[in-house]
Structure 1
């Protein structure tokens, strides 16, 4: 076996003394650097006497010397070294891994999820992660490089074109001998390290190595005194507990046969950070042949280690989300995995719905995806009041995640209370969102933080202190919560647009006097839609908000169509038919909607009927023509197959729209559809219109006629036949008017519909609006 002690050669002593003089230390000081309580080994070292091998190496390291150049290597030691090389090192690896197998399985084989009362097997939940070899925050870019334009197609999930493809995690580990894996809070860094330890332990990955998993926080806490921090001794104790001798450990280290996994460098208390870093540096440099992987939160990555490659753990992609969700619900279903998979399918289906896009945005990190699954588990659905989910997510990131791991943070940020932290983040959200800034310079966000800090002090605060404190707070917000993220060097954004919107809404609700100026002017801006919804859900009394939206809608229409109320009600379609004048403007359209809804007899809410006929009246090529989702949102009893007068009017408009889109060539292919649309015998409400429609239907040629004959008929009769059909349904049902809207009116119609849709969505968001105001609002919808 390798000699347990070493002694310095005469030439080595000379080099060591020169290095010692350059340092300017005393022997007592050097003993402290090495981590021993007496200077006797130091004296022996410089005297050329045998010194414990471990201490000898530590002394050389502290003096910046290579111990191989200082020590005497006796001939018999060389023989032993050669014997070790010849000996089957794999046998030792297998034996030690076998001795430590149960320890690693117990240490890394399970996960504890927040609010789940039992541990979950790692294999039951683990999802392969991707690694970004190019760290986004280290790119030299400008804000203009992100090319963000907020529109209907804005990529909320990726905040624009800033997503980077990654490589499979295990492939990255195989590629680099020493890795520093960075990531946001809850990104899955610890789970990934545990997975590597288990895979190595079972011989499925790096099968020629022995895994060593160390939580850096535990390493520091287990030391009785900071001066006793010694990572090598800690590893030695771990091995001794598994009956692995120090000699065997020395051989494994010398041959580079350890996979050393150091988890959570950022979780080490500030007082011990420097010594912990020194211990890692010393261990990785002395035993450089071994593989090292360190995890750390990305904003706390100012630590640098020679020879380490820095990479970043990527957010989940769609496939990883699906795999995680299926595993999560199957694992929680215990003895009924089929039931869990059914719920997982329901979860994924609802997550993919357009209205749940903001929730989908959050579910890209394991910590928030786990929370989303947990919320869904109870009711097999997402909460109508999404703000509650976001609040739980913030509570998790701001408080519970560190608490669950027993971590206490230091620094100036810790002096802020939770309400102050929320108030600060709300102000940052509101100011940046109002400006339309999704990305902002580091100097800009630090200035906003400094402005807030001034409000907390009754006295003048030194500018230099403010600058330092604001920089420290920005780093803490990113490192501890991941709510702000450095997207490129000195360019930040909120980690999710949803959080920026939530904090904006929170700031507005907190200052009710700013409700009108902060929200009033943004009703028609689609990027503010989520803020309106969240403000309605957060506010303890949203009545004023609803009244504000309604007032803005009515005022907007009044400005665009000032004579709206002066237009005559369309009570005499026969007069219009005499001149075949069927075209109408936006103002008349809105009046017609009110009139038509009063003519029909249905059990549904009047507002739902108005919404129904509003979209039914639109030209067939309009994007919301015939879209009755808003009517259904007002009164869910409209769901299912329509009957009565609504079904009749729907069928007639459908037939007219088919006719309006036909050409002689299309007529051959779609004549069957036209015949079917005019076959109204299945409807119970036909009245006198049945005969008129039958006459129109009978004028059509038979669908079995030859194509040329059909084309000729439509060429000669199509326009006049369509006009007569329109006049008939106008006369009998007061529908089918041709609304000729100019560009300004078209834009007004879209915004009017958007405003009413927003109002309905706010009402349906499980907010605390009073019954009286709700009734008033519904009475005015499309009214």
Structure 2
């Protein structure tokens, strides 16, 4: 026989659940939460699926990291298929590509990789091109990993070379960064701190490392076959030319700074990448990385889904990292 509802002590019930089952935990006086976040996320996902709240989930939480697992769980719970979820995520993600600079980046990645010989899907090639470009695409490696793990490993192997390349192109390189990479430089400065004021010494050390990175980048670009022949041949040739040009470094500060600017111009020219595209606002950088994060999440949701129409997924993958006419 059930007790009279009026005689039930709610606080006692909560304490019993907390002590005996461990499902709920009192975080503060009178405030309870689930002891395991996974359980909370699962119940949230189940509620969203049961009550057909996909629209609000995507519209309000697509780029919120703390909702990531809920998206993936929802995709797995949708027994009727996750097509609608993925398509809504795609449409919402595309809204982040809302300026000419962002559209130009995607147009460039498509043009530079179209018809290239690498054995990767077009979307993966476009993500690789964006990674190699000078764009501030912080989330691009995660997307590449989701689209094609093999290509991700190839790019990850040159990520340090790209960092060296970018840092060496600045008028005042970050010495802490280079000391961490060049033990000889770190050791020399520790024994003789006056070397910190020796611009010629620092410059020569940085560009010795830079030349090695140029060789690594040129070799990787040829091997991965991400870019089509026009871009690949031009980029490889220009990078090798840069290496030869840096073999004899002029001592004057003005000449060294001119060389740095020349390197930057040559890099952009080799990629057919307009440097004006990088005159981005903070909002544009945020939009790009929200867009990349959303696309990576789309791939992860597809992997978790019980059922996705092959035709629907083929369309999403074909459109990924491209500008949809009339959108954005």
TM-score scaled by length of structure 1: 0.32
Task: Report the counterpart of residue 138 of structure 2 in structure 1.
Answer: 624
| 1:700 paired to 2:257 | no
2:207 is matched with which residue: 671, 674, 695? 671
Q: How big is the shift at 1:631? A: 1.0
Q: Is the 8 A contact 1:607 1:781 kept in 2?
A: yes
Other-structure match for 2:30: 490
Matched, 1:740 2:279: yes
Map of 2:297 onto structure 1: 758
Give the secondary structure class of the aligned counterpart of 1:487: strand
- Say if 1:506 and 1:535, in contact at 8 Å, map to a contact too: yes
Which whole-Å CA distance do the structure 1 matches of 2:78 and 2:15 have between them? 31
Shift of residue 480 of structure 1? Answer: 4.5
Alignment of 1:696-735 (within 5 A): 696-702=242-248, 712-713=251-252, 715-735=253-273
Per-residue Cα deviation, 1:526-547 (whole angstroms, up to 9, x for no partner): 2211111111122212221111
Q: 5+ unaligned residues in a row in structure 1: which ranges? A: 1-409, 413-463, 565-584, 704-709
SS of structure 1 residue aligned to 2:126: helix
- Alpha-carbon distance, 1:616 to partner: 2.5
Q: Would you say the 8 A contact 2:25–2:32 is kept in 1?
A: yes
The 2-side partners of 1:684 and 1:539 are apart by: 41
- Runs of 5+ in structure 2 lacking a partner? 173-198, 223-231, 323-328
| 1:776 match | 315
Report the Cα offset of residue 716 of structure 1.
Answer: 1.7
Deviation digits for residues 503-548 of structure 1, max 9, x if unmatched? 1001111122x22124432112222111111111222122211111
Q: Find the partner of 1:525 among 42, 53, 64.
A: 64
**Equivalent in 502, 507, 510 of residue 42 of structure 2:** 502
Structure 2 Cα separation of the partners of residues 693 and 616 of structure 1 = 13
Q: 1:682 to 1:592 in 2, by over 3 A?
A: closer
User: Could you say which structure has the larger radius of gyration?
Assistant: 1
Kept in 1: contact 2:168–2:207 (CA 8 A):
no
TM-aligned CA deviation for residue 624 of structure 1: 1.9
Aligned to 2:288: 749
Deviations 1:309-330 (A, max 9, x none): xxxxxxxxxxxxxxxxxxxxxx
Measure, in 2, the Cα distance between the counterparts of 1:482 and 1:651. Answer: 46
CA distance in 2, matches of 1:616, 1:692: 15
Given the superposition, is the C-alpha separation of residues 538 and 721 from structure 1 closer, same or farther in structure 2, using an over 3 Å criterion?
same
Larger strand share, 1 or 2: 1
Cα distance in 1, alignment partners of residues 296 and 149 from structure 2: 15
- Within 5 A, what are the aligned runs for 1:422-433? none
Residue-pair matches, total = 282
Task: Give the match for residue 318 of structure 1.
Answer: none
Instruction: Give the Cα–Cα distance (whole angstroms) in 2 for the partners of residues 552 and 497 of structure 1.
Output: 27
Contact 2:126–2:321 (Cα < 8 Å) also in 1: yes
The structural deviation recorded for 1:774 is 1.9
Q: Which residue of 1 aligns with 2:151?
A: 638
Aligned partner of 1:659 among 168, 183, 198: 168
- TM-score, normalised relative to structure 2: 0.71
CA distance in 1, matches of 2:127, 2:288: 13
**For residues 617 and 751 of structure 1, what CA distance do their matches in structure 2 show?**
18
1:511 equivalent in structure 2: 51
Question: How big is each residue's C-alpha offset from its partner over 1:248-283, in whole Å with a ceiling of 9 and x where there is no partner?
Answer: xxxxxxxxxxxxxxxxxxxxxxxxxxxxxxxxxxxx
Q: Report the structure, 1 or 2, having the larger helix content.
A: 2
Q: SS where residue 764 of structure 1 aligns?
A: helix
Which residue number corresponds to residue 120 of structure 2? 604
Cα RMSD (Å):
3.5
Q: Give the secondary-structure state (helix, strand or coil) at the position aligned to 2:215.
A: coil
Provide the rounded CA distance (Å) in 2 between the counterparts of 1:773 and 1:744: 31
Bigger RCO of structures 1 and 2 (CA < 8 A, at least 6 apart) = 2
Partner residue of 1:133?
none
Pairing 1:374-453 to 2, within 5 Å after superposition: none
Assess if the C-alpha contact under 8 Å between 1:537 and 1:766 holds in 2: yes
Q: Deviations over 1:303-351 (max 9, x none)?
A: xxxxxxxxxxxxxxxxxxxxxxxxxxxxxxxxxxxxxxxxxxxxxxxxx
Task: Give the conservation status (yes or no) of the 8 Å contact 1:656–1:726.
Answer: no
Structure 2 CA distance for partners of 1:781 and 1:700, relative to 1, 3 Å: same
Instruction: Identify if the C-alpha distance between structure 1 residues 411 and 611 changes in structure 2 by more than 3 Å, giving closer, same or farther.
Output: farther
SS of 2:118's equivalent in the other structure is: coil
Inter-partner Cα distance in structure 2 for 1:640 and 1:520: 33
Write the distance in 1 (CA, Å) between the matches of 2:96 and 2:122.
Answer: 22
Q: d(CA) in 2 for partners of 1:595 and 1:684?
A: 16
Taking the aligned partners of 1:689 and 1:520, their CA distance within structure 2 comes to 41
